[in-house]
Amino acid sequence: MSKNVKSVVFSGVQPSGNLHLGNYLGAIKNFVDLQKKMKCIYCIADLHAITISQDPKELKKNILDTTAGFIACGLDFKKSIIFNQSSVSGHAELAWIFNCVSRIGWMNRMTQFKEKAGANKENANVGLYVYPNLMAADILLYKATHVPVGDDQKQHLELTRDIAQKFNNDFNAENFFPLPEPLIQEKLSRVMSLRDGKKKMSKSEESDYSRIDLKDDAETIKKKIKKAKTDSSPIPEKIEDLKNRPEAQNLLNIYSFVTNSTVEKTLKEMKGKDFSKFKDHLSDALVSVICPIGKKIKELESDTANLKKILKEGSEKASTIAKNNLKEIKEILGFIQS
Ligand code: TYM
C-alpha cells in the first residue's frame, strides 16, 4: 500500500438472524480492535440479505438486532460509522458500474454462489450471482484499504482487488481505487460448526446446536457445548495429533482464542483430559465472554428508536463520503453531472 493512501477500514455483516460466535470471533472482534487505530466504516448489509427471500417484518427486526449486536460487542457509533447499506444509494449505483467492469468468468469462479445456488442454479436470482460485485462496491465506495473478514470472504476480497485494478487500468485512473487488503484473524479465521468440524458455523445451518448465538444464555451455551460433537480420544499433547480430528481441533481453537492463549499452551494444560472435562472449561470461558454481550444486546433491542437514530446518524456520515467519491467515479466514466 502506497504511503500517501489514507487507511480506511470497511466491513459488513448480513442481517440474517442472530449474530453467532463465528461472526464475533472471526470478524466483529476485529472490527472493535481496529476502531482504536483507524477510521472504520461498518455496514449492516441489507441489500445483500435480499439475495435470499426475506419476510419484510423480520428483515426490519434483524437489521435493528444486528445494529444492537454491533454496539453490544463494543463498536462505538461516535468513533466508527455504523449504518445500513440500503440507506446509502451509492452502493447500488457503484454495483451497477462494477457489473460492467467485472467479467462473467470471474463470477463463475465464485465458490459461494455455487454453494448457495446448489443444484438449482438456473432458478437462482441474478442478485445472488452478482453479489460479489456489490460487495466490491461496498468496499470501494469508501476507497477502503483494509477489510476485516472471516476466511470465507477471502475470495470476494480477491475479486474486489481485481475489479479495482481493472477499473484503474481501463479508465487510466492510476491508483484511483486502492487494492484493499483482507484482515483475517490469524489464530481463528474460521469457526466451525459444533455438529460437523468440516463445515463452518453458519446462520443457515438448520440445527441450533451447530452454533452458539450471542444471545444464548449460560444454560443454553453449556447445553450446546455438552452436545458438541467430539471423538472418543482424550486431548493429545501435540498439535500434529489433531490433524484428522476436526471437531476436537475446532473446540480447542475456540477455547485458546477466547482465553487469549494458543493451542500449544492449551494442549500443555489439558493433555490427557477427556473432552467432557475440557468442555466444562470451554463452557465457562464462553459464558464469561458471550453472556455479557447477549445481555447488552437484549437491553439495546428494547429501544428501537435509539437504534434507528444510530443508523440515521451513520447513514448521513457514510452518504457524505459516498457522494464525494461517486462524483469522482462518474467524472472518470464520462457521465454528465448536473
Ligand atoms: P456474513 O454476514 O456471512 O458474515 C459476517 C462476517 O462474519 C464472518 N463469519 C465467520 N468468521 C469465522 N468463522 C465463521 N464460522 C464465520 N461465519 C461468518 C464472515 O467472514 C464475515 O466477515 N458478504 C458478507 C457481508 C458483506 C461484507 C461487505 C463484508 C457485505 N459487504 C463488504 C466485507 C466487506 C457476508 O455475507 O458476511
Q: Which of 132, 137, 41 is nearest to 93 (CA)?
A: 137
Q: Specify whether the CB–CB gap between 316 and 77 falls below 8 A.
A: no
Percent of the chain with pLDDT over 90: 92
Burial 136-156 (b: 16+ CB within 10 A, else e): bbbbbbbbbbbbbbbebbeeb
The model's confidence at residue 17, banded by pLDDT at 50, 70 and 90, is: confident
Task: Report which protein residue has its CA nearest ligand 1's atom 14.
Answer: 22
Which stretches does DSSP call E strand in the chain? 8-13, 39-44, 81-84, 146-148, 181-183
Domains of the chain: 8-190+304-333 (3.40.50.620), 208-299 (1.10.240.10)
Place of cell 452454533: 211
CA distance 139 to 132: 11
CA 28–ligand 1 middle distance (angstroms): 9
- Round to whole Å and give the CA distance between 126 and 51: 8
How high is the mean pLDDT of the chain?
96
Q: Which residues contact 70 (CB under 8 A, 6 or more apart)?
A: 13, 28, 31, 42, 44, 82
- Only one residue has cell 463465528, namely 22
* Contact 150 CB / ligand 1 (< 6 Å): yes
Q: Is the CB of 48 under 6 A from ligand 1?
A: yes
Confidence band for 1, pLDDT divided at 50, 70 and 90:
low
pTM equals 0.96
Summarised one tens digit per residue, pLDDT across range 47-102 is 999 999 999 999 999 999 999 999 999 999 999 999 999 999 999 999 999 999 99
Q: Is 308 a catalytic residue?
A: no
203 is catalytic: yes
Whether 3 has a pLDDT exceeding 90, the answer reads no
330 counts as catalytic: no
Whether the CB-CB separation of 21 and 29 falls below 8 Å is answered with: no
Give the pLDDT band of residue 120 (cuts 50, 70, 90).
confident
Q: Is the CB of 80 under 6 A from ligand 1?
A: no
Q: List the one residue out of 316, 318, 319, 310 whose CA is nearest residue 75.
A: 310
Q: What pLDDT is recorded for position 158? A: 98
Three cell numbers, residue 282: 470451554
Summarised one tens digit per residue, pLDDT across range 284-315 is: 999 999 999 999 999 999 999 999 999 999 99
